[in-house]
Amino acid sequence: MRLDKFLCDTVNISRKDAKDFIKKGFVSVNGIKVTDSGFNVSEHTDSVLFKDNPVHYEKFVYYMLNKPSGVVSATTDATDVTVIDLLKQEGRNDLFPVGRLDKDTTGLLIITNDGDLSHHLTSPRHHVAKTYLTGIEHPLSPEDIKALETGVELNGDGITKPAQIKVISDLFIELTITEGMYHQVKRMLAAVGNKVISLKRLSMGSVILDESLPEGAYRRLTEAEILSLKD
């Protein structure tokens, strides 16, 4: 990998700035100062220092974010804070959310730069389960639950795949779906004459929201969590 690209990916600077820092002698490889931006480094075996601080290359990174309400699931936005803004201190410019949560929805959101994993988790062909703690306007009747667990008609999108319903209380359920239609949970409840009051994603695939994370906080996924998602 070219040294300037290595620097861009590890310390989150532009290619122009990387070239400038290298030319000025701020970068060394294996103890030797390098001023050639095109110098090839091994991201796995070479020791690179930038301003006398070691920098390490990771091709793919994976984070669990407890998304707060009011933050949009996007990489950039002209008016609102994005989920990527919450991870800016990680110093990476290649992160994106896996799928999306509505602006007013909270809970588990996976942030990564691994496009293959993102595609696997969001592709309709793979039917990855997602569970939501759902606050509702009034209790579900047995008929409502049966309809949701069988499949309900959503205008323009046909009949949903069967959902799983766990009643927590009169006004809270856990709803598990394997699709990702636009506003799906809200539209499903509307289809049985109810209304979503609050929505929090608890899990995606095998990964469960770490309840020790306050809203707006994040942590890296563990190796076990990453492997379970890839499996």
User: For the segment 58-81, what is each residue's pLDDT rounded down to a tens digit?
Assistant: 889 999 999 999 999 999 999 999
**What size, in residues, is the chain?**
231
Tens-place pLDDT, residues 152-174? 999 989 999 999 999 999 999 99
Residue 118 CB coordination number (10 Å):
17
Shared domain for 200 and 137, answered yes or no, is yes
Shared domain for 185 and 141, answered yes or no, is yes
Give pairs for 160-167: CB < 8 Å, separation 24+. 160/184, 160/188, 161/127, 163/188, 164/131, 165/140, 167/140
**Could you give the number of structural domains in the chain?**
3
Question: What Cα–Cα distance (Å) separates residue 19 from each residue in 2, 16, 49, 56?
Answer: 11, 5, 15, 18
Mean pLDDT lowest for which of 7-11, 30-34, 118-122? 7-11
Judge whether 144 and 150 are in contact, CB under 8 Å.
no
CATH code of the domain containing 11: 3.10.290.10
Residues 6+ apart with CB under 8 A from 170: 138, 139
Q: Which residue has the tokens 């696997």?
A: 120
- Where is 7: in which H helix or E strand? helix 3-11
Q: Beta partners for 201?
A: 107, 132
Q: Give the range of the structural domain holding residue 145, as residue numbers without chain letter.
A: 130-204
Q: Out of 4, 102, 116, 157, pick the active-site residue.
A: 102
89: helix, strand or coil? helix
**What is the rounded distance in angstroms from the CA atom of residue 159 to the CA atom of residue 186?**
14
Shared domain for 119 and 91, answered yes or no, is yes
- Phi then psi for residue 116, to 5 deg, are -65, -45
Q: Beta partners for 140?
A: none
The mean predicted confidence, pLDDT, of the chain is: 94
Output the pTM of the full model.
Answer: 0.83
Shared domain for 116 and 214, answered yes or no, is yes
Q: Which two tokens stand for residue 87?
A: 């991870």
Shared domain for 70 and 51, answered yes or no, is no
CATH code of the domain containing 177: 3.30.70.1560
CATH code of the domain containing 97: 3.30.70.580
Shared domain for 28 and 79, answered yes or no, is no
The amino acid that residue 96 corresponds to is F
Shared domain for 42 and 85, answered yes or no, is no
Identify the pLDDT of residue 231: 81
Shared domain for 147 and 192, answered yes or no, is yes
Residue 54 has pLDDT above 90, yes or no: yes
**What is the rounded distance in angstroms from the CA atom of residue 56 to the CA atom of residue 21?**
17
Shared domain for 216 and 196, answered yes or no, is no
Whether 104 is a known active-site residue: answer no
Shared domain for 75 and 176, answered yes or no, is no
Residues 6+ apart with CB under 8 A from 185: 132, 134, 175, 177, 196, 199
Shared domain for 199 and 142, answered yes or no, is yes
Pairing assessment for the beta strands 130-136 and 196-204 based on DSSP bridges: antiparallel
DSSP secondary structure code for residue 101 in this structure: -
Identify the pLDDT of residue 223: 93
Shared domain for 217 and 109, answered yes or no, is yes
